């Protein structure tokens, strides 16, 4: 029933877009995501929309729908794959269920630092992964950095032993689930939109994300300790339906790729500033305590994941080697 409602909304949106088109060639693409409008991800997608409109002289526009208006991330992926939704924003963690290549980006501690992270995303390896899903119904256009993910709860998590017995919310990703298992916690997949109430009601004892989840999503109202073990750097990914992509002219595709690439840099520039402001706000107004953590015990505990991932897929094994080599 929920999916039928989403399809009805999308049908209405499609009609409105058609009715308001200013020329026969003008086209408005619908882009859905699950963050609020004041989130940096939303602002970066809005930037991309403005740039593609400029580059195509108004022939291509993007309307960005925040707060999962057209469906949650899983629903958006399915709608995009069947051509009912033009574009969506998800993250590499959830995308590995649709395209195995993304699992290489999700491995804990695979990136040496932020520079290595962005070098991979903005280079040949990143492009290779974005293009890998074309026959699966979607094409990646750009990555948006979301910093490093760490654990937060009402308990200090300084070593993997501190996670023992804790129910930790994870994304519905085999890699995220395996990571928490190896660290001694109990992984609990829950939709992000349901996490606030899950923390509030004790359905989970903690979660893992970047620091902005504390402020933008108000998780700092409940979870008062952010343990900076920085286990993963998982990017968001902006995608387009293969059906929509193939319906664009070569010139339009080029303009969309350029707009997406420019929005990557735009997003990166503003991200660190907003995270610093968010941490200060979480400390001052929410009473969140940030603690430094020795990462070595966490990194050691998850090492089996590298061999497991490589054994499952030659493709992923090759990507792991290439990513690690790019750190040098």
**HEC readout, the chain:** CHHHHHHHHHHHHHHHHHHCCCCCCCEEEEEECCCCCCCHHHHHHHHHHHHHHHHCCCCEEEEEECCCCCCCHHHHHHHHHCCCCCEEEEEHHHHCCCCHHHHHHHCCCCCCCHHHHHHHHCCHHHHHHHHCCHHHCEEEEEEECCCCEEEEECCCCCCHHHHCCCEEEECCCHHHHHHHHHCCCEEEECCHHHHHHHHHHCCCCEEEECCHHHHCCCHHHCCCEEEEEEEECCCEEEEEEHHHHHHCCHHHHHHHHHHHHHHHHHHHHHHHHHHHHHHHHHHHHHCCEEEECCCHHHHHHCCHHHHHHHHHCHHHHHHHHHHHHCCC
Contact 34, 67 (CB under 8 A): yes
Question: Sorting pLDDT into bands at 50, 70 and 90, what band is 38?
Answer: confident
pLDDT at 190: 92
204 HSE (CA, 13 A, CB side): 29
Looking at residue 22, what is its pLDDT? 43
224, 78 Cβ separation under 8 angstroms? no
pLDDT score of 18: 47
Beta strands 289-292; 225-232: pairing state: parallel
Q: Any idea which residue has 């902006």 for tokens? A: 238
For 122, counting Cβ atoms within 10 Å of its Cβ (0-12 exposed, 13-18 middle, 19+ buried), the class is middle
The CA-atom distances, in angstroms, between 127 and each of 102, 140, 141, 257, 316 are 11, 8, 9, 11, 15
The pLDDT score that the predictor gives to residue 130 is 98
Strand partners, 226: 152, 290
Give the Cβ contact number of residue 292 at 10 Å: 9
Average pLDDT over residues 190-206: 95
Burial zone of 34 (CB within 10 Å; 0-12 exposed, 13-18 middle, 19+ buried): buried
pLDDT in tens, 264-323: 999 998 888 889 999 999 999 999 999 999 999 999 999 999 999 999 999 999 999 999
How far, in Å, CA of 264 to CA of 122, rounded?
Answer: 8
What is the side-by-side order of every strand in the sheet holding 87-91? 60-65, 27-32, 87-91, 236-241, 138-144
Angle between helices 250-286 and 40-55 (to 10 degrees): 160
239-245 mean pLDDT: 98
C-beta of residue 170 within 8 angstroms of C-beta of residue 188 = yes
pLDDT reported for residue 1 = 52
CA distance 304 to 222: 33
pLDDT band at 171, cuts 50/70/90?
Answer: confident
Residue 141 has pLDDT above 70, yes or no: yes
| Band of pLDDT at residue 21, cut at 50, 70 and 90 | very low
Mean pLDDT of the 109-127 span? 96
Least confidently predicted of 21-25, 45-49, 270-274: 21-25
Q: Decide if pLDDT at 148 tops 50.
A: yes
Residue 19 has pLDDT above 60, yes or no: no
Compute the distance between CA of residue 158 and CA of residue 21 in angstroms, rounded to an integer: 56
**Mean pLDDT score, 111-138:** 96
Position 23 pLDDT exceeds 50? no
- pLDDT confidence bin for 12, thresholds 50/70/90: low
Which residues, in sequence order, are CB contacts of 173 under 8 Å at separation 6+? 93, 94, 96, 97, 106
């Amino acid at each position: 029933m929920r999916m039928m409602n989403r399809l009805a909304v999308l049908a209405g949106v499609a009609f409105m877009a058609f009715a308001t088109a200013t020329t026969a060639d003008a086209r408005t693409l619908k882009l859905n995501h699950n963050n609020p409008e004041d989130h940096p991800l939303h602002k970066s997608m809005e930037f991309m929309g403005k740039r593609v409109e400029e580059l195509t002289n108004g022939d291509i526009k993007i309307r960005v729908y925040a707060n999962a208006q057209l469906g949650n991330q899983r629903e958006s992926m399915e709608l995009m794959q069947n051509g009912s939704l033009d574009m969506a924003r998800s993250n590499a963690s959830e995308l590995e269920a649709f395209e195995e290549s993304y699992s290489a980006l999700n491995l804990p501690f695979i990136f040496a630092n932020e520079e290595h992270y962005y070098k991979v995303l903005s280079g040949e390896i990143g492009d290779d992964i974005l293009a890998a899903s074309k026959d699966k119904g979607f094409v990646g256009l750009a990555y948006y950095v979301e910093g490093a993910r760490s654990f937060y709860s009402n308990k200090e998590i300084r070593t993997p032993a501190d996670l023992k017995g804790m129910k930790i919310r994870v994304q519905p990703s085999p890699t995220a689930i395996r990571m928490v298992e190896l660290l001694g916690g109990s992984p609990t997949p829950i939709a992000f939109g349901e996490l606030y109430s899950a923390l509030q009601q004790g359905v989970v004892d903690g979660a893992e994300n970047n620091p902005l989840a504390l402020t933008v999503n108000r998780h700092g109202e409940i979870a008062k300790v952010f343990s900076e073990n920085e286990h993963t750097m998982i990017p968001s990914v902006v995608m387009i339906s293969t059906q929509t992509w193939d319906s664009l002219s070569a010139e339009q595709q080029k303009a969309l790729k350029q707009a997406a690439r420019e929005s990557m840099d735009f997003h990166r520039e503003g991200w660190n500033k907003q995270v610093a402001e968010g941490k200060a706000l979480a400390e001052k107004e929410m009473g969140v305590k940030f603690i430094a953590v020795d990462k070595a015990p966490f990194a050691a505990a998850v090492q089996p994941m590298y061999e497991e991932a490589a054994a499952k897929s030659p493709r992923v094994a090759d990507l792991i080697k290439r990513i690690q080599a790019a750190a040098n």
